[in-house]
Structure 1
Amino acid sequence: MSALRQELLEKWLENLPAHEFDLQTLAPASSDASFRRYFRVLDRRSGHTRVVMDAPPDKEDVRPFLMVGKLLRDGGVRAPQVLAEQVEQGFLLLEDFGNTTMLAALRTADAAADPLYRAALQDLVTMQANVRVDGLPAYSAEKLQTEMDLFDTWYVGKHFQSELTDQEKNWLITIKRTLVDSALSEAQVFVHRDYHSRNLMVTGVEGGKPQLGMLDFQDAVQGPLSYDLVSILRDAYVEWPEDMTVDWAIRYWEQAKKAGLSIPHDASEFYRQFDFMGLQRHLKILGIFARLYHRDGKSQYLNDLPLVLAYVRSVASRYIAFKPLLLVLDRLENKAVKVGYTF
């Protein structure tokens, strides 16, 4: 944070009438892949810490965060309360959900995985069934396509310093069209877009069940039902055995049907949509992680590429339509292509 921006932030905090902050406690809380930064500060009057969002107005707009947060809270989902705002300067004062992300809780004890995922899936069904999509942009065919094109530009072009052949381009055009068509054929609901273990906070336990709070929702759209399910179950930051993922996915499917969501009654069709949506998302993520490294200098995202690539390969190997993608990846990685025959 620049000295000038910190001075603006501190002056704003000092002038908030309902609070009395100890500015000596102001310290970084977290950051994300955008230009937003978060700070934690003690409010002497309440005795609680608060979180301050710093979103430079020339880089970020806090209004989507405010709008989507209200939609979530109105729909019965726990998003942080906004205690004060200065939209023009890009400052928000927020309820503090604490330091424990779902990811941190999972890494502390694997035994916590099942109750945490059950809580996350229940919250997901609640969100999809109850949160309105008023004013949200559609997850359009153009947007889905543009996201996948990041794979070509950043993962293939920048990360591997390679160009796709004409044949490979044609393969990818067909694959991407298939993925877009599948996504648009699903029920269109509220989509968080980053519903994963780094954006869910463990805020406590009630009745023996973990309670979760939701962050980083400002890019929400109206889009495919399976998108957020893929985000949480095929998380770019943590991996689980396939049988556990399938079990959680089927639990979600059963809950979604009970909640009246428009979901395929055939489990195999539901899981196909889940796979196809995952492939769209992970092609995008390969491009985004490569861009975060090569353009923004955020090298930590390179550590997460292998898991995302493993997800891509796993789905591509299950469906004949996506086998050409494996050939592209094999060439990029200079792997020997094994020829097999199926009778």
Structure 2
Amino acid sequence: MSQQDRGSVIDGFLDQHGWGSAGREKLVDDASARKYFRLGRGFETALLMDFPPNAVSIDPHGVSDIPERLASIAPVLQTTTLFTDLGWRVPEVLAHDVANGLALIEDFGDLTFTRALAMGSIVPASLYIRATDALITLHRGCDAMAAGAAGVNAANGANGELSQAMAGLVTYQPANLRRQLASFGRDYLPLVIADDARRGHAMQEFDDLLDHVLPQCFDAGQTIIHRDYHVDNLMLVDTDDGDADCGIIDFQDAAIGPRPYDLVSLLRDVRHDVGIDIERTMMARYLAAFPEIDETAFNRAYIATGMVRNFRILGRFGWLARESGKMRYLEFVPRCWELILRGAQQNLPELADWVENHIPASARLAPVIPNDHSQPWTGK
């Protein structure tokens, strides 16, 4: 579809729902093929999500060995209902057209936690408390859902785990996580290990490492995960009584995964240095809400899940640089490595050993990529 034809489809959708004459302001693109526009109509605003169904997006779940897939807004509709039912404050979907990849959604404004932190007038811990408490709310709801399903399924002689059939979401297993990490070897390692033989040896030992580490991600159980839970996707949203809710956006890639996954995303954020003190305080706050969880198992799963997240992010950064020319993400590479190694020697020494053996400190910097992509990439 040409850009002109796409514009006509959008105009027709907005006309149909009373926003045809609204002003439009394009918002900053994220790392996906989605585009967002803020619509203004008098004192009212809304957001238009434009996600053309012929666009290529990356499967975030590792369901298939082929990560590319056609775009769809259907997951947005599904997860909006799910998270609303579980007590999260997420934007209401005002109108949608799945076939054409368009949705009109509630506008939460611009006050992300990131911007609130940059203002300097809000105590950072207060925002992280809101975010941690939102996870506690979600996970309590999931635990209740799983307990209810267990009772029903036990009566039927079936497995009572929180399952794909219950939530309509992909349920992660070690195999999913392994497929998510394929991009690390394909799109990132060539940046820092140019020699094919050395890279092949590193990947063989990496595969052996994953055999041991990936099952440990599940040592604290599973729950519904946002999957990209960090301060850029959390917002302060006014309430009717003058307070502020923790508004949550960009949740369409939700899944059932390791319980610490979102807490790791929040507290070990590649783009924002949370600080050790806040990280420890929020982990303690979370664990106090679930006294039945074994703390040692949770900490082990937390470190293992952090490893998975950051290796996946490194692969994603490499892919974005190569396929989309988005080099700005490479500045976060050193922090990825710092987070991968934080606590690894104490909890996953084999991970620390693999990094030391194959990725020396000099190779953990932002890689240099030639402007001519026909040339081989190198970390030199």
TM-score (norm 2): 0.79
CA deviations 1:212-239 (Å, max 9, x no partner) are 1111111111111000110000012101
Indicate conservation of the 8 Å contact 2:217/2:302, yes or no: no
1:42 corresponds to which residue?
A: 40
Residue number in structure 1 paired with 2:168: 135
SS at match of 2:46: strand
In the TM superposition, structure 1's runs of 4+ consecutive aligned residues that sit over 6 Å from their partners are 205-209
Deviates further, 186-195 or 170-179: 170-179
Partner of 1:338: none
Residue 149 (structure 2) aligns with: none
- Number of aligned residue pairs: give it: 324
Q: Kindly, what percent of the aligned residue pairs are identical?
A: 28
Match of 1:279 in 2: 307
TM-fit CA distance, 1:22: 3.6
1:222 counterpart SS class: strand
Structure 1 residues without counterparts, runs of 5 or longer: 336-343
- Give the direction of change, closer, same or farther, for the CA distance of 1:93–1:162 in structure 2 (3 Å limit): farther
Matched, 1:313 2:341: yes
Pick closer, same or farther for the CA change 1:212–1:177 going to 2, 3 Å.
same
Residue type of the partner of 1:39?
F
Aligned to 1:79: 90
**In structure 2, which of residues 97, 106, 109 is the aligned counterpart of residue 98 of structure 1?**
109
Q: Which residue of 2 aligns with 1:327?
A: 357
The aligned counterpart of 2:370 is none
Given that 1:119 and 1:212 are in contact with CA atoms closer than 8 Å, whether structure 2 keeps it comes out as yes
Determine the structure 2 residue equivalent to 1:29.
27
SS at match of 1:179: helix
Residue 176 of structure 1: aligned partner: 210
Name the structure 1 match of 2:293: 263
Contact 1:204–1:212 under 8 Å retained in 2: no
Q: Which moved more, 1:182-191 or 1:220-229?
A: 182-191
The offset of 1:79, in angstroms, is: 1.2
**Residue 64 (structure 1) shift:** 0.9
Q: What per-residue deviation string (whole Å, max 9, x for no partner) do you get for residues 32-88 of structure 1?
A: 2111111000134xx310001001011210111100110000111111101111111
CA–CA distance in 2 between the matches of 1:272 and 1:48?
Answer: 47
Cα 1:4–1:74 shift into 2, 3 Å: same
Q: 5+ unaligned residues in a row in structure 2: which ranges?
A: 56-70, 146-165, 366-380
Amino acid at match of 1:115: S
CA shift digits 1:133-185 (9 cap, x unpaired) = 51111112221001222221111124654444554233212221222111233
Deviation at 1:290, TM superposition (A): 1.3
Amino acid in the other structure paired with 1:14:
D
Q: Is the 8 A contact 1:293 1:299 kept in 2?
A: yes
Residue of structure 2 in register with 1:107 after alignment: 118
1:341 match:
none
Does 2:228 correspond to 1:228? no
1:55 aligns with 2:51: yes
Q: CA deviation at 1:209?
A: 6.3
Query: Which of 232, 239, 247 lines up with 2:273 in the alignment?
Result: 239
- Choose the corresponding residue for 1:154, options 187, 193, 196: 187
**For 1:61 and 1:170, how far apart are their aligned partners in 2?**
35
Q: Please tell me the root mean square deviation across aligned C-alpha atoms, in Å.
A: 2.4
**Does the C-alpha gap of structure 1 residues 92 and 324 become closer, same or farther in structure 2, counting only changes over 3 Å?**
same
1:11-26 alignment, distance < 5 Å: 11-16=12-17, 19-23=18-22, 25-26=23-24
Measured after TM superposition, the shift of residue 263 of structure 1 is 2.5
Equivalent pair of 2:169/2:254 in contact (CA under 8 Å):
yes
Greater shift in the superposed pair: 200-209 or 295-304: 200-209
Bigger drift between 245-254 and 101-110 goes to 101-110
Cα offsets for 1:102-158 (capped at 9, x unmatched): 112112217431111000001111112215651111112221001222221111124
How far, CA to CA, are the matches of 2:5 and 2:40 in structure 1?
Answer: 22
Q: Is the 8 A contact 1:148 1:176 kept in 2?
A: no
Distance 1:236 1:208, change over 3 A: farther
TM-score (norm 1): 0.87
